[in-house]
Structure 1
Amino acid sequence: MTPRAGDSPEAPTFTERARRQQLIECTIDLISTRGYPSTSLSAIAERAGLSKAAVLYHFASKDNLTRAALDQVMEQFRAYVTERLARAAGPREAIIAYVRAMIGYQQANRRHVRVITEMLLDDDGGTKLKTPGSHDTQGRWQALAALLTEGQEAGVLRQFDCRTMALAIGGAIDGVIAHWLVHPELDLDAATAELETFTLNAIERRD
């Protein structure tokens, strides 16, 4: 079986697209249950019921396949958040929608959270790998900073440094999710409500 050339003009067939998606889903499952280091090509092939050569036909390496899995997870995450922001009636409502969406997606997609933490975050919160598409921690909260800026320009938020505030709110979200992953008995809905109150107290005008 000859791997497809990277610059081949041929579009993948329906069967090839379905097989690639199957491999991505198997990769997500394995990373979320076994961790990234234990997710080998052989393990992925076994989970998918294929030979290792068949996996390599669709993805030239473990790195290519795991990055494709991460890209899919991040794209679905972004789409979920973007959809909910689009429904917001104004800047204040958009910021609360952002907090709810960030936690809501992770609550509904626990295995995706494991993929993100396994592949992107070190124990100290740093970034393990750099993948095109804003996976770096430096740009993680740019969207929230932009929402905060819009709120200030609309006159509904007090004046503060938007980047610093975005990092503070984002850090609070990360902290709640990290605790929930270790202690799943945490009432995440109640925690979300507390984070909403925390956020509004931090950003709203007092006059």
Structure 2
Amino acid sequence: MTSTADGSIPSLRRGQIIDSAIELIAEVGHARTSLSRIAEKAGVSKAAVLYHFTNKDELLDEVLNRVIGGLVEQVESAVHAAGTPAEAVSAYIRAMIGHLTAHPAHVRAITEALAIAELAGHQTIRADASRWKVLAELLAAGQAAGQLRDFDVKTTAVVIGGAIDGLVGQWLAEPDFDLRVAADELETLVQRAITI
């Protein structure tokens, strides 16, 4: 059971329901994930699910908060531990790919949620600045310190993010795809492209 800030039974139960929803979305997809199925997987009643979440959309929002929050936390920690701006960019790539590889159910939950958002008319979610802004800021800081060459930071950040998405997507489609080797290649390509 997932630990929570206050450790209370309701908070623990809420975390258990979110974890079960993540696993179920990864296993069968969003469309086939009902509140009843989530309740069954979590070992609780549907009423218990409805006590914590008014509907499936609210639960999906919490699923996204959980999976994206965990990813952001790990990436930020890796970036802050890096020395130079170039090392921070490598740490970003490694942390993103490492976290997504370690949590394939989270990747599938994110993918499903983004697809649902696009179907609901939120096509701008994939182009959201938060998807590239942190990396662009790292790149700009490296340029300002004179450690990275001159290039358009937004374009470069979007390209790196797209490459990470592509590699993880290939790994999901082809489990034998060696994501660690692919991460090495991406890191090498990026370092050659950004360093002086």
Normalising by structure 2, report the TM-score.
0.90
Matching of residue 110 in structure 1 with residue 104 in structure 2: yes
Q: Which runs of 5+ in 1 are unaligned?
A: 1-11
CA positional deviation for 1:173: 1.0
Query: Secondary structure at 2:128's aligned position in 1?
Result: helix
* More moved, 177-186 vs 41-50: 41-50
Report what 2:30 is aligned to.
Answer: 36
Query: Secondary structure at 2:149's aligned position in 1?
Result: coil
Check 1:82–1:96 CA distance in 2 against 1; reply closer, same or farther (3 A cut): same
Matching of residue 80 in structure 1 with residue 79 in structure 2: no
In 1, Cα distance between equivalents of 2:177 and 2:49: 39
Normalising by structure 1, report the TM-score.
0.85
1:141 corresponds, among 126, 132, 138, to 132
Matching of residue 119 in structure 1 with residue 109 in structure 2: no
The one-letter code of the counterpart of 1:137 is A
Aligned-pair Cα RMSD in Å = 2.0
What is the correspondence of 1:11-26 to structure 2 with a 5 Å cutoff? 14-26=8-20
What is the correspondence of 1:169-184 to structure 2 with a 5 Å cutoff? 169-184=160-175
CA positional deviation for 1:29: 0.7
Q: Which runs of 5+ in 2 are unaligned?
A: 1-5
Matching of residue 152 in structure 1 with residue 143 in structure 2: yes
In 2, Cα distance between equivalents of 1:19 and 1:168: 40
The one-letter code of the counterpart of 1:52 is K
Query: Secondary structure at 1:60's aligned position in 2?
Result: coil
CA positional deviation for 1:86: 1.1
The structure that has the greater radius of gyration is: 1
The one-letter code of the counterpart of 1:146 is E
Report what 1:195 is aligned to.
Answer: 186
Are the counterparts in 2 of residues 45 and 55 from structure 1 also a CA contact under 8 Å? yes
Check 1:13–1:57 CA distance in 2 against 1; reply closer, same or farther (3 A cut): farther
Are the counterparts in 2 of residues 145 and 166 from structure 1 also a CA contact under 8 Å? yes
In 2, Cα distance between equivalents of 1:46 and 1:199: 45
- Runs ≥4 residues deviating over 3 A: 126-131
In 2, Cα distance between equivalents of 1:13 and 1:143: 32
In 1, Cα distance between equivalents of 2:115 and 2:154: 20
In 1, Cα distance between equivalents of 2:56 and 2:68: 18
Larger proportion of helix:
2
Are the counterparts in 2 of residues 28 and 111 from structure 1 also a CA contact under 8 Å? yes
Report what 2:83 is aligned to.
Answer: 89
Matching of residue 100 in structure 1 with residue 90 in structure 2: no
Percent of aligned positions with the same letter in both sequences? 46
Report what 1:162 is aligned to.
Answer: 153
Are the counterparts in 2 of residues 80 and 105 from structure 1 also a CA contact under 8 Å? yes
- How many matched pairs? 188
The one-letter code of the counterpart of 2:71 is F
Check 1:161–1:71 CA distance in 2 against 1; reply closer, same or farther (3 A cut): same
CA positional deviation for 1:50: 2.2
Are the counterparts in 2 of residues 120 and 129 from structure 1 also a CA contact under 8 Å? no
In 1, Cα distance between equivalents of 2:115 and 2:128: 12
Report what 1:51 is aligned to.
Answer: 45
